[in-house]
Amino acid sequence: MKIWLKYLIATILGIALGLVVPAGGALLDTIAGLFMNAARAILIPLLFFSIIIATQELREDRRLLRVLSRSVVYSLAGLFLMSLVGIVGAFALSPERIPLNADSAALNAGLPKLSELFKAIFPANALSVFLNSDYLLPLLIVSIIAGVGLCFDRSITKSLSTLIDAASRVLWQINSFIVELLPLPIIVLAAARVVSLRGIPRLQLYGNLILIVVAELAFVTLILLPLILFLHERKSNPFKTLYGLIGPAFLALVAGHALVPAGALLKHLKESLGVRRRAGALSLTVALSMGRAGSAMVSATAFIVVLSSYSSLGLGSGTIAWMLAFVPLSALLLSAVPASGPLAALLFLSASYGRGFESGYLLMVPAALPLMALSSFLDTLFAGCVTRLAAGQEGYAGEKAARHFI
């Protein structure tokens, strides 16, 4: 059975379980949190050793900067493009205003300051990258430096290179085992999400907003992403690429976390889409660090709803231009808090916009769960597409028949 089908069946079973489990219990959430940690338990060491070897091999191929630059450019371009989609979608579909007396609660998941993120890029102790399981950019920098260091004299570094390569391959096998076992955790995760949704008061107030985000998601998934993939790789079927990523996307939809599906995404990129390790590990880490495009789209739409709910004056061109600059910036800051989705970005946008809207993000807190789920789904699809494009453009991705996908 295909992995995506296992995930889909597990999701349906979890939804059914969540509809009959009594609301209010904390045990289900605790087990769900445990499973989310288990799903990414070896992600950091796997990426660390794999990026080192990838850097060494790409440098020997003289393609390190090319793969790295393509990954960065595609990720950043996606942030601006998805921010624009979120803004245009909000204007075109005209979401309903949310009553200001809607139930709200404080949001604890704030974003770090930009200065703090810059300082964290180069840690004082390189080994500390193993202790931070959320912020991947320092891990990426340290791994690239270590990979370049392996190239200075192969007669000296050969033994260490062999050891790192073996560690990468062993961790890959462990990751594959975890990916195969994920359907059981997905049942618990889906059940926990349904129980949480049942406990949200007056969620129907946000139904129109959620439907608009779903419509934007459908447009991006069925039209925009296939068009982008087709323009870059005319010989490849873009829908086959998206089909190869649907399994990790299902996991992201249930988890609502940017890094939980990362291990499954690595496996699908290699075994379904033919992305070689030397490009996949490096590009995917860049995309996960700089390419939270789904979160950018959702936060842009939600922020327009916040502004329109507080004021009936409409949005001017100055506000739209401001959003095109600050929404991508908020998505970049999300790289340090993968468990926080559009709501954390809204907190940043509300504080940066000012003008009495500093607490405007509170209006969207009740809808945090569905918005985070939808944004994580697109974040995962987009990261997979960035990796596939960057690898394919440099000749590090092969073609496989869809019937051979895992």
pLDDT (tens digit per residue) in 29-74: 888 888 888 888 899 999 999 999 999 999 988 999 999 999 999 9
Residue 201's closest CA among 106, 102, 101? Answer: 102
What's CA 238's distance to the chain center, in Å? 20
Quote the CA–CA distance of 332 and 291 in Å, as a whole number.
7
Quote the CA–CA distance of 75 and 287 in Å, as a whole number.
6
Residue 393's closest CA among 256, 248, 213, 234? Answer: 234
Residue 87 near residue 323, CB atoms below 8 Å: yes
Quote the CA–CA distance of 376 and 291 in Å, as a whole number.
11
DSSP 397: B
Quote the CA–CA distance of 320 and 317 in Å, as a whole number.
5
For the beta carbon of residue 121, count every other beta carbon within 10 angstroms: 12
Place of tokens 């770090």: 112
Helices 64-93 and 317-333, packing angle to 10 deg: 130
DSSP 3-state of 231:
helix
Quote the CA–CA distance of 86 and 297 in Å, as a whole number.
4
Domains of the chain, first to last: 3-404 (1.10.3860.10)
DSSP 270: H
Amino acid 396 reads Y
Residue 107 near residue 362, CB atoms below 8 Å: yes
Long-range contacts of 240-244 (CB under 8 A, 24+ apart): 240/402, 241/273, 241/384, 241/385, 241/388, 242/381, 242/385, 243/402, 243/405, 244/268, 244/269, 244/272, 244/273, 244/384, 244/402, 244/405
Residue 101 confidence (pLDDT): 59
Residue 388 near residue 397, CB atoms below 8 Å: yes
Q: Give the tens place of pLDDT for each residue, 196-250.
A: 888 777 788 888 889 999 999 999 999 999 999 998 887 788 999 999 999 999 9
Quote the CA–CA distance of 294 and 278 in Å, as a whole number.
26
Quote the CA–CA distance of 181 and 185 in Å, as a whole number.
8
Q: In which band, very low, low, confident or very high, does the pLDDT at 334 lie, cut at 50, 70 and 90?
A: confident
Q: Give the tens place of pLDDT for each residue, 158-172.
A: 888 899 999 999 999
Q: Give the tens place of pLDDT for each residue, 272-307.
A: 998 998 899 999 999 998 888 999 999 999 998 888
Residue 246 near residue 378, CB atoms below 8 Å: no
